Chain A
């Protein structure tokens, strides 16, 4: 067999231009006709640059060019149509493998699939199918299918699995064949016509890793009379050895030295430093610059740095289709149809296409749609569509009802139909997604397996990329194989770390490195040799270029903080230089510049809100104020409540409200009940009614379990209430509204009181008892709840000997004051009715209050009232370390004064009391 003609491209300047020059050689104008020429290129970018140079060169000669066909070599092998039928698409192939694996007798593939659960469920079958497709694609590069006898010979350590693979692969082919389809790899290997029928010339343009199957095809074309020419990049004066197909010879290149000088190498601490260094290097080129990323994981950091430095980055590799809005809509819709979860719905509503579509149908704005969803998930705690629907039956919530009604009716739409509906008339915007949908829909194999359609579609999304628009002035973040085609004065090759550059395989389930070479597939040595060769070319080429410079950089630590190993390519220097090179590459990481010092540069400038409406203070306000006047301002004045978007169950406050509600209804309707069972029945009945009102007939699962917990507490209430009745206590008031002036004529600190008392009981002999319901986890006695060992407010001090004691809550003393004012002269007790998590602990617990205590409570209350009236909400207090502070986010920069701006602080310090 004769070898192809090899042309070494050794001129200075752009590689693409040299290739274009060769292509145009000997052609005459009007037009320069290359339509009978095919060019195999290593990357899409290479084709684009060559076409550009063809246009430029032909223009210089006064014409244009009818372009050749450009292909990557493996793609070039695919016939335009299969003689024995249609060529199977990737979807067909994954589905066919999935079906084979679904139907196989598991006992016959026990070596291959020792964990049979891999073969359960469409998602996993399709996944396993995809894995098989990948394996076959790799084998095809070496011109083999799983049936090739060489495999058993080469993979002798793994015979069992390959033997099991044999019948599976045959079944796969027969599934395809049953549907009139042909496997593309079989066609490529068989070498049926794939290239232009009229092809006269084939150029293999600088493909340093030409697959062996494509080499065979080229050889066959030569036999058929096609002129095959191999173009090899070899900038002068570089030496090198190549095989007849222009591939760098592994034996030669793996040991070859790379003329990299120390000043070509830059070691950075981390990717951010590396990106900064690279951009700085490029900035000196006046625009003629290019970046190549050896490690694709760096792209986010480099994009960010280029943007910071006023450039505009572009990713030629494109963006995964799965990240586009239409694909996300389709994927989330598939999920929503399956789980009907309101959390999935919320994600859909955040997608403008979907929300505009559903909003238009139900006449709701985006704001209203999101608010509806928040209501259902946060207030109602509904998890699913059905729970929300069950709640809405018979309610007056028209927006939610309309929204869910339309949504339910839309569930019949499939993902593709939904995308079409949403983007009706704008199909060009979602062309790629519709293509993927059409591919699955058109697959004859997928048609026989409807359950697999959604997993196949999702896989199709994840496989595809979309290519955005770039501007001519964008800085491309090109991949390593694009490097030879970058035509710039300054070239930064970044991410030179082992594993990425040179790239290597690190183990494989079927094709470990040791067997690849024998199977004709690229192995670590050949990849390393290729990368040695390319880097050597780049250095020669850049050095020869006027003002040309190259930088090879790596960072000591990768994007995830793990240490990286510098690329072995950087160490291919003469032996005597190696120690210095190694010391340079492996030195301790250059210490990073200390992070800029934290200064409280952004201080919160909070709204300065004066009291709205008629000023009042409630008995529960005192605790809040005494805990922290500043937080009191945030919650009571500004009404800042945290919005728990992740809520899956009632928060303590809601849980308390539910129990309070049931107890209030009990007091209202069943207070005279004396029988424990009847008390229990009554209060549980009230709970049931309330639950229905609050959460509908189908509350979310977590809420249902919480309701059970509430029942336990209410059963313990029945025990306590039964005891109280037996003792002679009667309920005389409940939800007792505290009227303005409840304390007679006097106000508290100049403010009238407002609020409600949970309950007041009366005993013929013992007098009155004012009760506050508590639904804590553990029993907290009123003593513990009302007194602290310190306070910012001197007036909170309780007079007495010994250890200082301060009021931290005034609820029960205030209640007592109110009841006393209404019932002068009667003995009054103030107590908690604690309903705790441990039902045994539930009980009445009183707070003993003597005159001295009442006086000091009054004094404290007066001071708090006065401060609130005067707008004094300073100083803030540190909360105990175990307390949950919803406002802690405001205090990230140190002390309170460092976090809040001066004007706000001045406002919060309030005004002097001018009242007598």
Chain B
């Protein structure tokens, strides 16, 4: 019996060796004799999946070669393993390479979905939507809603009303664009909203009913408030009195539901919603108009109640509008989803999120798990899940349905091993829910059960002491900064649960390390990012990691920032590689000129594009023959060969420097990809190229620039972190899905602003929950960013004003490290001198001088042989449109033949008896031709046996060589005269169904007939003068007779 291996949850700090533990577990399972095909190892990124598989193979291979590694492997897996066993396991893995289940969760789900098309509402296979395709699909669906929603006046009115309800402002001028952005923001949320829940429904938000339902209107509430204040404060100071009158008048004039003007908003927030003062008598009050006791309004008598009533009356229309907008948005999303689903999803164009949703809807079916196992040929016994903190609830729903049995297996022969670090949960924006990580353990271990064991990895095998100390110092105790950073108690609790002190690995203890943080003076908003980039440039120039063999990364928060930095560093001669996704088609002048050329082809009036092309070296090449000709040629080439061919044509005479040449290669590849999947318009193509992105692969010997998200799972000798103190992006409205149960949300609503939300406990809680998520995400991103370094960590931020209330990482650093100066540093600043500089000038890195000369292919002599077909000779003389040198390659076809083929087929059945063929089975059009033809004199001649010595060939294909050229063809009919059993003369008949006269046909096909004569002469071994050939026009109505 195999050993029980047990279920394990592994909680691991960054850099503590998660992947190593996963591969160890995998090897251990294999060593225990488990079938590799029954192990599912799932990761989040494709890259991690690739690395995981590599590691498993490499560890076994290295152990098979080196005694030391074999011993280490034995220690790691907790059992002795021999070299032979390693070889055996390697062999087993190699044989089953194609059946291993190591990949991403998304790829497993896509495999499952491909096996369940009909269950998923798909009539066949599906394709994955790329980012630009998704944008186009959404745009088209939205345009269709507009079309359908406005088909008649009645529809139009209600549709316009719906749109207006969604808009924040009634007079919003950008409609389509705004709705498209709403779709981008809320469509996913809509899909995650349970079917029985609609947004903005007060009954579900406040189970006791909308708390402001019975509040009086603002006018009477303002009157009441003013009355009460004046009653209780007959000696109210003049300033206060005037202010009171003015503000109450403004309130009464204000149109309910619309936004308050600035001063009125300040008054309401400060005086009606804000916290009250406590004066020296302990009385609660607020000051109105001016300071001084006479201007204080105290909460006595009916004042407080009237204040509450007034506040409520002012908030009521705001909440009502928010509810109305939420409900309208939900209705609109339902409409959008209906249209999008039918046009895109049902047509088999899916996102990974769609796949997850589709599968999640199946899991409750009784035979689901069995069906998955059956259709995928995979019944997994062991599950290894990496980066579990990024799993979404929908993903877990599906995984749980497949995994549960393995976890609960009492024999211990099936297992779950999941690894995660909830401090690195940076995918909440796409549904990842780090809380699941601990919830699962709690649920399975409920009631004291020990179904899942817990293990922890706290030793940082990655970083040196200064880096580890820095991490501990910043992230260990967030409670001390929680007030300033706005961290809620829930956040602190969750972080505490995730946190474990990072311990320096013995082997790293003595290595030199360094942490450097500088706050940069920034005088102007517009220059913020550039001052950080200049500092990065300075650091890099000092360390020269590319010259010393240190791996180095610069981490940014956005792709666009990474690209901007790359431009700067490249222009300063520093070798860089932008990793992650970038668009090589639009980041250079050649790409811009090419796109302009495409735009000009599509739009004759596009003067801007024309000027761009003329301003570039491309202009002199493409406009040679004038604009009209440029456009006509371009459209012809696109129609015939595709976009890639046109770009090649445009650029064929360009001599490009290395950088642009490489970018041209990228552009061509992107165009070729487009050509293989799409036949879209030029607009579609341009838009596709503009949103094209390319995953740049790892590079060495260069400074790697990437986003924090892309750096996850990677390690560098040094890293420079920048931009974590950036301002939050444009504020987009947030929609909160709430409820008691995390896996089933009961309600949804757009969130009010902070001041308004705080007036209602439900909304306040919802807003706090959203805020907590946001803060938690920021913390995680910061943690990921600063835990990438092996040796040295550099951070640059902008200096904050003393009264800053920022909630970003820069502020966290200021609060937790409390530096006395603009620079904070620990460790050895010269750490990098450990390796000598190769003193290569930056210009020499990646320069073209070292590139080998390109090798050229000589014309191929081993391609598919080329046959000359006699019939193509005829066509060659008849039609100049036919390719002169090409032979058309025939397809194998089982499809119904065309008329010509049918005629030939029928005639081929006639030996010498003209009545032989049964025309009743012919198609009407064939019959129409054949009946008169077979009655004709000419047919009688063709089908009458000239004498006993004559034999006949019908439909004879032949292959032979004429003057060294392979000739391949087929005789329709050949009469052969034999003497003494040997052929002596031949007469070839070739049927023609052309709509032409006999003379024209004879003329047109003369070259073919000549060729036939030569062929027959060779085949029969008779002189060419003994062979004659004739065309036989079958269409008598052309005067062929």
Contacts and interface: CB of A to CB of B under 8 A. Distances in A.
Interface string B612-653: 101111000000000110011001101110101000100000
Interface string B250-266: 00001100110100000
Closest 6 CB pairs of A and B: A469-B886, A563-B50, A64-B960, A127-B123, A594-B846, A561-B695
A240 interface: no
B847 A604 contact: no
Contact of B173 (A314, A701, A775): A775
Given A90-B895, A512-B377, A272 B665 contact: yes
Given A114-B118, A307-B648, A638-B611, A31 B1020 contact: yes
B605 A374 contact: yes
Interface string A61-75: 011111101011001
Given A64-B1019, A286-B861, A568-B95, 9 more contacts: A112-B118, A114-B118, A280-B855, A311-B857, A499-B98, A502-B98, A643-B609, A836-B169, A841-B259
Contacts of B628: 365-367
Contacts of B120: 115
Given A328-B639, A370-B603, A578-B87, A272 B669 contact: yes
A323 B895 contact: no
A200 to B, nearest CB: 16
Contacts of B123: 118, 123-125, 127-128, 130-131
Interface stretch (B27-35, B412-420, B466-474, B564-572): B564-572
B124 A571 contact: no
A308 B854 contact: yes
A63 B90 contact: no
Interface in B106-155: 111-112, 114-124, 139, 143, 146-147, 149-150
8 contacts: A65-B959, A66-B1019, A130-B124, A426-B881, A428-B879, A566-B97, A575-B87, A641-B607
A767 B575 CA distance: 66
Given A306-B857, A367-B628, A601-B657, A64 B377 contact: no
Given A311-B860, A607-B615, A304 B669 contact: yes
Interface stretch (A171-179, A435-443, A683-691, A908-916): A435-443
Contact of B866 (A471, A489, A559): A471
B603 A596 contact: no
A572 B94 contact: yes
B958 A31 contact: yes
B861 A470 contact: no
Contact of B604 (A113, A371, A890): A371
B171 A837 contact: yes
A646 B687 contact: yes
B898 to A, nearest CB: 6
Nearest to B255: A840
A67 B955 CA distance: 11
Contacts of B570: 597-598, 894
Contact of A63 (B112, B606, B1018): B1018
Contact of A837 (B159, B170, B177, B860): B170
Given A30-B983, A472-B865, A838-B171, A328 B960 contact: no
B171 A487 contact: no
B765 to A, nearest CB: 29
B843 interface: yes
Contacts of B675: 300, 323
B607 A597 contact: no
Interface stretch (B189-197, B397-405, B677-685): B677-685
Contact of A571 (B49, B94, B676): B94
A54 B894 contact: no
Contacts of A125: 123
B658 interface: yes
A880 B895 contact: no
Contact of B672 (A300, A350, A650): A300
Interface in A294-347: 299-301, 303-304, 306-312, 314, 316, 318, 322-323, 325, 328, 331, 343, 346-347
B660 interface: yes
A292 to B, nearest CB: 12
A775 B123 CA distance: 49
B214 interface: no
A89 to B, nearest CB: 5
B669 A300 contact: yes
Interface string A585-618: 1111101111111111111111100000000000
A395 interface: no
A565 interface: yes
Interface string B579-608: 000000011111111000001011111111
A433 interface: no
A35 B860 contact: no
A563 B669 contact: no
Contacts of B96: 568
Contacts of A56: 961, 966
Contacts of A750: none
Contacts of A649: 174-177
A439 B891 contact: no
Contacts of A906: none
Interface in A530-573: 556-557, 559-568, 571-572
B862 A290 contact: yes
- Of the candidates B57, B371, B656, B983, the one having the most CB atoms from chain A within 10 angstroms of its own CB is B57
A895 B887 CA distance: 54
A318 B875 CA distance: 21
Contact of A287 (B568, B592, B858): B858
Given A571-B97, A649-B176, A115 B867 contact: no
B968 A51 contact: yes
Given A709-B170, A893-B567, A59 B961 contact: yes
A597 B574 CA distance: 8
B730 to A, nearest CB: 8
Nearest to A387: B147
Contacts of A52: 865, 867, 959, 966
A383 B659 contact: no
B602 A583 contact: no
Nearest to B890: A467
B164 to A, nearest CB: 7
Given A474-B863, A591-B700, A524 B376 contact: no
B170 A712 contact: yes
B537 interface: no
Given A131-B123, A438-B898, A716 B171 contact: yes
B863 A568 contact: no
Contacts of A365: 628
A862 interface: no
Nearest to A20: B959
B697 interface: yes
Contacts of B526: 878, 880-881
Interface string B900-923: 000001000000000000000101
Interface stretch (A41-49, A220-228, A397-405, A820-828): A41-49
A544 B149 CA distance: 72
A817 interface: no
A514 interface: yes
A579 B64 contact: yes
A269 interface: yes
Contact of A115 (B119, B171, B847, B983): B119
Contacts of B53: 563, 565, 586
A648 B855 contact: no
Given A130-B124, A561-B697, A837-B172, A289 B862 contact: yes
A141 interface: no
From A282, A489, A602, residue with most partner B Cβ within 10 Å:
A602
A594 B94 contact: no
A603 B616 CA distance: 7
B186 to A, nearest CB: 18
A367 B672 CA distance: 27
